[in-house]
Amino acid sequence: MAIVKVIEIIASSPLSFDDAVKQGVKEVSKTIRNIDSIWVQDQKAHVKDGEIVSYGVNCKVSFRVSEGE
């Protein structure tokens, strides 16, 4: 039987929402194996002096838990 675990992450990027998601996956992949999917739950942008300075995402990451872990 496959067991899937879900964790929530927050990631950001100065470039775009898309890049924030990619950076989040890149970072979480350093410690989590068997990632199956990522669901972008929420997005936000930080504004300074009328300009967007960073993009943020809240994501749920699903990954398979190996037997014996």
For residue 25, CA distances in Å to 11, 48, 51, 62 come to 9, 26, 26, 11
Amino acid 66: pLDDT: 75
DSSP state of 11: E
Amino acid 7: pLDDT: 97
* 52 closest CA partner among 23, 8, 13: 13
Domains of the chain (ranges; CATH) run: 3-65 (3.30.1660.10)
Low-confidence stretches of the chain (pLDDT < 70) are 67-69
Amino acid 2: pLDDT: 82
Amino acid 68: pLDDT: 58
Amino acid 62: pLDDT: 97
- Name the pTM for this structure: 0.85
Give ∠ CA 5-33-69 in degrees, rounded to 5: 60
